[in-house]
A and B are shown apart, each in its own frame.
Chain A
Amino acid sequence: MTTDCDAVIVGTGPAGSTVADVLTAAGWSVIMLEKGANRLLALEPPFQGLGDITNDEVKFVRRWFLGPDPFLEPRTYRRAETDGERLLTGEVNNLPSTVGGGGFHADGKLPRFREVDFHARSELGPIDGADIVDWPLDYDEMEPYYAAAENLIGVAGDHTGNPFASWRSNPYPMPPGPDMFCAIVTGEAAVGRGLHPYRAPTGANSVEYDGRPACNNCGFCAYFGCPIEAKGDPIAPLRNALRTGRCEIRPESYVVSVEVDGSGKVARGVRYLDVDGVEHEVRARHVVLGAGAFETPRLLLRSGIGNSSDNVGRYLMYHFQTYTLGLFPFRLHAYRGRAVTHLHDDFLVPDADALAAARSAGLPYFRGGIVEHGGAGFPLLEAVHTGPGVHHSRTMLHSPMRDHMGAFTIQGEDLPQRSNRIDLDPKIQDVWGSAAGRVTYEPHRHEIAASRHWAPILESVMKDAGATHAFSVTSPPLAGEPGADTPFMAPVSRHIMGTTRMGPDPRTSVCDPWQHLHDVDNVLVADSSVFPTSTGYGPTLTIVALALRAARALAGLPPLRSQRPAQPAGGVGPPPQPAPD
């Protein structure tokens, strides 16, 4: 078969760009297809920035500059099949539809998972109503890829700060950036309550790194993009790949289907539509899917491949987000700095009180997630939520919901459930004429019980920090609570995982342990679709580490190795794990 390239990569986010970097460095030719437009970097040498990334709330938040525009790419949502075909149409968990993908707008918190996260089933045990499984690899195997991912993106952090961290073979490549005032205030209060806040590992340069400048604290991170290239994800791997001369990026190219040969077991490439709607085919030895855990299963479903287990799109997971908000009598100016500079991991390791609360909720245990110490958003967001009338102008001057608001966000572990899924909407279409992706999702009672246990603790921390009022809300909102039957009913989390889970058994998983489809071996899923569980950590560093591992294996490169140190490198050593029951 004649081919156009060694590998065709669908999607240019953290997963696809990492694979492109590894494969082109190994001498492969790749073509990257991206449905969104290119706002990131020139595609000709010297691949400089385009000047489109700005501190502009109208452009990026209100007008969907990066896409997906909900008119062009609507998604639909329902909680359960009993809701009918859909409850809402529009924006559902939208990650940017643009060159750079989800890396473009993320604020770059890049924690590693912990050792137990790779074998929660074996160590912590099952929970009724969920399908908790071990990952087909462990932390020791992942460690060198985590280290390589941190070096590739450029992560600033303090390797001594987090007592819950698993072992690591190296310090972070950069020291942490400056602490945000709001996090200093809440961090001190958290320490007073026996919690362990630490400086968040962040993919924003604290010093010049890889030819890109240090972050200058402009604050427009999440939902925007970095105007000065201080954020390495995903510009660093894409630029590396382009510089080899063996990577071609085709923006505004919408992949319609993965094409297989007559046997159905070998992919020969993909078909895509260009910006004028003209159809093309790219033939390649390998097909790599890095479209994200929403779009990757949608592409497989419309292609009709990879689904002999009927698991494509299933086990959809987010992070169950609990926001604890505190109103302070002084200004926190959380619009300055890297959006979030401190985390604590205590809620990933339930203590005796948490285990008792779990048991009283009928669960053997529960886990929460990282807690982000941050502030509120920008003025337009505050204004829209303030409401009209004289009180609007008075309230905006005082700014209780922005400049005086501290915010904790728990990225709570979301257990895998087979009924939570992405499938194809029977009626709504995108601008290219394909069926829209539809989410069917309800949280497990584990997530709700964990949230209800830890939210009051965080409210106490907020008050210790000086807040006069503190309260908590969740996304998705729970039945009977504000927002439950409004357009805000869908989870707003952009952490989307699990829709083509990997595992050794083709009857219960979609991808094998090296992320190839069980059914079609030369299709590799590079993104968070393969996650068997969600843990309570942001997924991006693990996406990149897994993509490095899978891409190196694909290219025939030897696995990376690292050595577990004799003594734990972190501060006080890892706390004990809870007994499963």
Chain B
Amino acid sequence: MPIWFDEREYAVVRAAVDRLIPPFEDHPGAVACGATDYVDGLLGAFLVDPPRVFAGGPFSGRHGGDAGFARFTPLTKHQELAWRTRIEGSLGIPEREFNGPVVGLQERYRAGIAALGADFGDLDGNEQDHRLAAAPGFKTLLYEHACEGTYGAPEYGGNRDARAWAAIRFPGDIQPRGYTDEEVSGRD
């Protein structure tokens, strides 16, 4: 269940990230990794407390230690100002507009989804590529988020079960295990 998108918006974003990072051989692709949920979690970061902006620590539990990444870190006052402004936009609030108005990610997604069209998921690949190319700013934004949601830590909602890391042969976070001297110096 998405926390910020409605079902229709979620479907458009899902189809778009699938086109940007598709499955290929052992690569599961952005959708199977949960990149759509990553974006949904970012746009709805302030719907939970503490906000889902910075995963905690010091370890994830994947290589020993406890699952500290899952306990998100409370934001400082300035971090909250920055991330609320980045996500919600400045909305005419003076303390967010010291260098002028800021268009937030939520608004950019609403506009971008509208530009791709409600029927985006039903189009063939070529037509999807045309629609994405006609919205270059949104395509770049969505692509960067698709990357974060595919290859970032799973605690942010994407990279489900660390599947992308397994596919690209990257162990991800490795503390407190680390690597042995032989693993550092030897040929694989």
Contact = CB atoms under 8 A, between A and B. Distances in A.
Interface residues of A, number: 64
Contact of A216 (B53, B82, B151, B176): B176
B55 interface: yes
A397 B27 contact: yes
A331 interface: yes
A394 B25 contact: yes
Interface in B130-188: 139, 143-144, 146-148, 150-153, 156, 164-165, 167-170, 172-181, 183-188
B25 A217 contact: no
B25 A69 contact: no
Given A37-B76, A275-B76, A58 B57 contact: no
B153 to A, nearest CB: 5
Nearest to A49: B58
Interface in A166-203: 177-181, 184
A304 interface: no
Contact of B169 (A57, A218, A275, A399): A399
A392 B175 contact: no
A336 B147 contact: no
Interface string B83-111: 00110000000000011001000000000
Contacts of B24: 390, 393-394, 397
Contact of B59 (A220, A227, A399): A227
B69 A178 contact: no
Nearest to B76: A37
A62 B152 contact: yes
Contact of A336 (B21, B139, B184): B184
Contacts of A389: 19-20, 22
A53 interface: yes
B59 A54 contact: yes
A152 to B, nearest CB: 25
Interface in A215-267: 215-220, 227-228, 252
A228 B173 contact: no
B170 A388 contact: no
A54 B63 CA distance: 13
B170 A55 contact: no
A21 B30 CA distance: 49
Given A217-B184, A218-B178, A380 B147 contact: yes
A383 B164 CA distance: 11
B184 A228 contact: no
A433 interface: yes
B10 interface: no
A450 B16 CA distance: 46
A527 interface: no
B40 to A, nearest CB: 15
Given A181-B186, A184-B185, A428 B99 contact: yes
Contact of A71 (B59, B85, B143): B85
A79 B86 CA distance: 28
Given A388-B21, A403-B169, A181 B55 contact: no
B176 to A, nearest CB: 7
A63 B79 CA distance: 10
B121 interface: no
Interface string B62-84: 00000011000100111101100
A343 B21 CA distance: 37
Interface in B3-52: 19-27, 29
A218 B170 CA distance: 12
Contacts of B29: 393
Contacts of A397: 24-27, 167-168
Contacts of A65: 54
B139 A333 contact: no
A328 to B, nearest CB: 11
A59 B55 contact: yes
A54 B187 contact: no
Contacts of B76: 37, 252, 275
A54 B155 CA distance: 13
A428 B168 CA distance: 42
A384 interface: yes
B154 to A, nearest CB: 10
Given A380-B148, A399-B169, A217 B180 contact: yes
Contacts of A337: 179, 184
A127 to B, nearest CB: 39
Select the residue from A49, A179, A181 with max chain B CB neighbours within 10 A: A181
A56 B27 contact: no
Contacts of B179: 216-219, 336-337
B1 to A, nearest CB: 22
Given A178-B184, A380-B151, 11 more contacts: A54-B69, A54-B175, A55-B174, A69-B78, A215-B178, A275-B77, A384-B144, A393-B24, A394-B24, A402-B170, A431-B81
The 9 lowest CB-CB distance pairs between A and B, nearest first, are A216-B178, A55-B173, A393-B24, A54-B57, A388-B20, A178-B181, A393-B27, A383-B147, A58-B152
11 contacts: A58-B55, A178-B185, A228-B176, A252-B76, A275-B76, A393-B22, A397-B26, A399-B168, A403-B169, A430-B98, A431-B78
